[in-house]
Chains A and B, each alone.
Chain A
């Protein structure tokens, strides 16, 4: 009852704010005949997905299709939820060697005040290329320093940053202090690392104190109001455990230290990278911290780890019970997200788990699984129709819907190709 009222309300607001005429996609769409892989629950052979007002109205084998619905025959295709890239630079980097086109990195050690989504360039050529490979949602990340800033979540559709943004801030990115590999044998860098961890802890303590003084001043007007401090201000949700920290950490030793840090500071955390995770799988599992894997197009940090360390790492952590997701760690090759998951599957990860690692798991990790990550009633209609396994290299993506709207799959690749076909 309440849901119906809500839907009605949404429709009314939608009609008034945009006007239906602007919306070229029909309001009610039925995708009929596809094999549906909802990711959560059983696969559905020859199923129908009913889309209404941008959401999945119904899904299954016996869905009644209303008369006003536009029916898409998807016979022979497979329907998947749109994939989610858990760490990328889409819209923030265009040509990586040209600094004028790179907005993903701020200078300085502590930048909790910067937000990746505020630099988002909706016209980036990498966005449509990525979207047309079945990726509909992305976590856009800023890097650099010790605290890099706030990472946000976007849909790969929209004309303005505002239309694209799903969440302004899903996590605060911390680059966990680590010793560069080449300097590991020296004694000093380790000290420097511990010092940096202490610095981080001190800063978080300052935030707590700052918050207390602010709260006290709010309650009692006789107390002095502390001066505004942007570094402290934007870390308040972090120390309160409301905003997770996304901690980039790679070596086993550093992972242990990061687990301790999270515990000591009582933070809500997500790890990124974790290339040596297989060495400390049980400890990560015990910590309950989920892991976002970086690009698997990388070499093991040490020869002794074995040539396939990067590839088998996700399988080992999954087996230990760690919640995980995959990422492209790229802008120009963000389209390759599914292949990182498949690579992990080639080296021990269950194939279904690999698919979950680019759909429902990232949605859960970033707290958006109420609306994203699977094909279920009531979730956003982010649907990908493919002619094969979505993680396979030769599979073609035939249709993409984001929030119920069919997307134009042409992109920089196809535009240049068509141009020179005329030659």
Chain B
């Protein structure tokens, strides 16, 4: 039922937005095309028209005058998707309160942030940029395309799920240490669980108040002076969770706290899209598979705190093989530009195939964000979001050469090198002039 509502919303959005696509035309020629979901095409072409992939194959004919990128000897893959990051924001954590579902990352987008360019330089075309992990219930997150130079409104991906950040464990426990005075409740995992339950109990109560009011208003015997319940922005958000209009993205590290949150989701009937970090996911693959809940994790960043000290590098591959939907995230403005390196490590630690490894940073995060119909693989009809590498993207020796969003080139290493060379020339000339003057 909930899922139906979500897909209906997605369909409606698609209908509205595909008509006004701002995308461009581009033909990428003669590359090794790693579609991720439909195999690899040697000497393949990808034709993008109006930002949408029109055709994939060999020797494609393109309309006259179309921009052509020669990818001979290079690797063409779907744009990388980062399922969990905090880039392009001018605020991350609202730690003034432990419960802040009313805050929205959409309100603090920072379109000029260089982090967008950094992401592009690592082949990333889409990110889920999130509220921090300071609060048991944080804010609403947002999915962006890395359209460097465009306005924040143009970057927003309307097809994506609405997601709300939750956080368990050490971070919400210690978040208040940054504030002065009495420590903020909660200070333990008991409190974290209890406060989330409290808020959902309040939300159910709030929903019932409104249901009663609306029913009473419709009733013929309604009293004339009937007063509506007070609107509560926090409760509105949690009600949307219960109604299935929004899904949970829950920061957790330990296996036990992760299981407790699954219990909460069942208690209140909200949907978990994904657990974040889950160092110990390999301990509970059975439950994760049963519940159909995915994970968005680091490949091997670990042991920086106690709850991360069992986060083995095999986590991604082992969970994948057990049937859990796994994505590799950056959670960092630096790691975001080498997600393809992290994906490659899943081949070493756990023996994933190259395609399985690439899925961790493409189609899997796309599914987790509800955008698999428009992104995450190179398929006809999907958005023309593409990353081009000089060597196989899973090689340690590779470097991203070009990143394309909806047919438009946003990162071009050749162009960058040219500009840098010119800049250095200019600098040298200026220094020479200065020297002569002296």
Contacts and interface: CB of A to CB of B under 8 A. Distances in A.
B282 to A, nearest CB: 5
A307 B114 CA distance: 10
Interface string A382-398: 00000000011111100
Nearest to A340: B396
B338 A297 contact: yes
A299 B312 contact: no
A393 B335 contact: no
Contacts, number: 98
A417 B345 contact: no
Nearest to B299: A393
A288 interface: no
Contacts of A98: 305-306
Contact of A346 (B300, B306, B399): B399
Interface in B312-346: 312-314, 318, 333-335, 337-338, 341, 344-345
B305 A417 contact: no
Contacts of A392: 395-397
Nearest to A305: B420
B416 A332 contact: no
B313 A413 contact: yes
Interface string A311-325: 100000000000000
Nearest to A311: B399
B347 interface: yes
Interface residues of B, number: 41
Contacts of B114: 303
A262 to B, nearest CB: 26
B121 interface: yes
B67 interface: no
Interface in A383-423: 391-396, 412-414, 416-417, 420, 423
A333 interface: yes
Interface in A311-357: 311, 331-333, 335-336, 338-339, 342-343, 345-347, 351
Given A346-B398, A393-B395, A332 B348 contact: no
B246 to A, nearest CB: 32
A413 B283 CA distance: 13
A57 B347 CA distance: 35
B310 interface: yes
Contacts of B338: 297, 343
Contacts of B349: 413
Given A297-B335, A417-B282, A420-B283, A332 B395 contact: no
Contact of A420 (B282, B333, B345, B420): B282
A94 B303 contact: yes
Contact of B121 (A303, A308, A413): A308
B341 A333 contact: no
Contact of B312 (A338, A347, A396, A416): A416
B318 A393 contact: no
8 contacts: A97-B306, A307-B117, A307-B416, A338-B396, A393-B344, A413-B314, A417-B312, A417-B318
Interface of B: 114, 117-118, 121, 282-283, 286, 300-306, 308-310, 312-314, 318, 333-335, 337-338, 341, 344-345, 347-349, 391, 394-399, 416, 420
